[in-house]
């Protein structure tokens, strides 16, 4: 299936897969280097990983971790915005948002190529599992599934645990998203067997490629990498599995990062190719919206 070259809208984009460097200042320096490298490569968009300013602190419950939160707009959106303006690059970041005393969110921020804060998305699905105690820290999002308009198009930004839910991707698509983007922090329990680890990562990639196919949209997932110890459990921690990737609207893999090393993943996509895919596979046309009422129920007893 080929797009009409006369109507192509090709963009070059980058995903910055990285580890926690130990402190906010060093992480910021690494991010700024990724931004500069992406801009020098001619990219129009850079996606950063979930909670990129520091460690993935949700492995434990500690009141002190709330000190990491910041307002939006705030310090990080200011320096990301300045970097976006300086390099003419759309940047998607991920922050621990302090909305009010005692009210916090896991929030994605989009800085447009002119440096302005184009919009935010607050993570809707909040996990609560061993090593991922996010319900202790984050209030579920209340901004809905609304694409963010930028210089390169309509971005359907979601965050990590959201990537397992087809409803989130679908609602972004129905609202006009041209890309699905997932800042992510997901890894293995070191005690899991290699076979179990492989199943988990393949499931993670497969479900997201399914979202791309079902909605006829390209998809970007940017994950952390490296081992981060859980200081509350000696010997415990998470091995983040990297494997950041970009796939096209038929689920085809366009680029993939290693599982065990930082990487700036760069590739090109044609945003107009989705039109051709949706003409051939008209899932939106054939949806039986008259028969889906039970989707709003927790379970059909």
- Give the closest residue to 170 by CA, choosing from 212, 109, 199, 137: 212
Written in H, E and C, the secondary structure of 244-257 is CEEECCCCCEEEEC
Catalytically active residues are: 50, 123, 160
Cβ contact 27:52 at 8 Å:
yes
Q: Are 43 and 13 in contact (CB under 8 A)?
A: yes
Structural tokens at position 291? 């028969």
Distance, CA of 214 to CA of 249 (rounded, Å): 8
d(CA 217, CA 288): 20
């Amino acid at each position: 299936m080929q797009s009409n070259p006369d109507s192509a809208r090709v963009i070059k984009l980058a995903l910055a897969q990285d580890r926690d460097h130990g402190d906010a200042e060093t992480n910021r320096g690494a991010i700024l280097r990724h931004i500069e490298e992406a801009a020098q490569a001619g990219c129009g968009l850079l996606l950063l990983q979930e909670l990129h300013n520091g460690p993935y602190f949700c492995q434990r419950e500690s009141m002190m971790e709330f000190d990491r939160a910041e307002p939006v707009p705030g310090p990080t959106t200011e320096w990301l915005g300045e970097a976006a303006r300086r390099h003419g690059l759309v940047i998607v970041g991920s922050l621990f948002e302090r909305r009010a005393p005692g009210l916090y969110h896991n929030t994605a921020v989009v800085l447009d190529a002119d440096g302005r804060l184009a919009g935010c998305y607050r993570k809707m699905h909040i996990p609560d599992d061993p090593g991922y105690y996010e319900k202790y820290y984050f209030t579920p999002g209340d901004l809905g599934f609304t694409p963010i308009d930028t210089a390169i198009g309509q971005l359907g930004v979601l965050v990590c645990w959201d990537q397992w839910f087809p409803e989130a991707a679908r609602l972004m698509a129905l609202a006009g998203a041209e890309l699905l983007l997932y800042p992510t922090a997901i890894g293995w329990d070191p005690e899991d067997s290699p076979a179990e680890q492989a199943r988990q990562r393949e499931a993670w990639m497969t479900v997201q490629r399914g979202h791309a196919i079902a909605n006829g949209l390209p998809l970007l997932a940017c994950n952390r990498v490296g081992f981060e110890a859980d200081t509350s459990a000696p010997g415990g921690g998470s091995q983040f599995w990297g494997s950041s990737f970009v796939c096209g609207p038929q689920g085809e893999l366009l680029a993939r990062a290693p599982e065990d090393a930082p990487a700036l993943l760069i590739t090109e996509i044609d945003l107009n190719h989705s039109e051709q895919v949706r003409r051939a596979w008209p899932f939106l046309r054939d949806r039986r919206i008259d028969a889906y009422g039970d989707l709003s129920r927790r379970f059909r007893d």
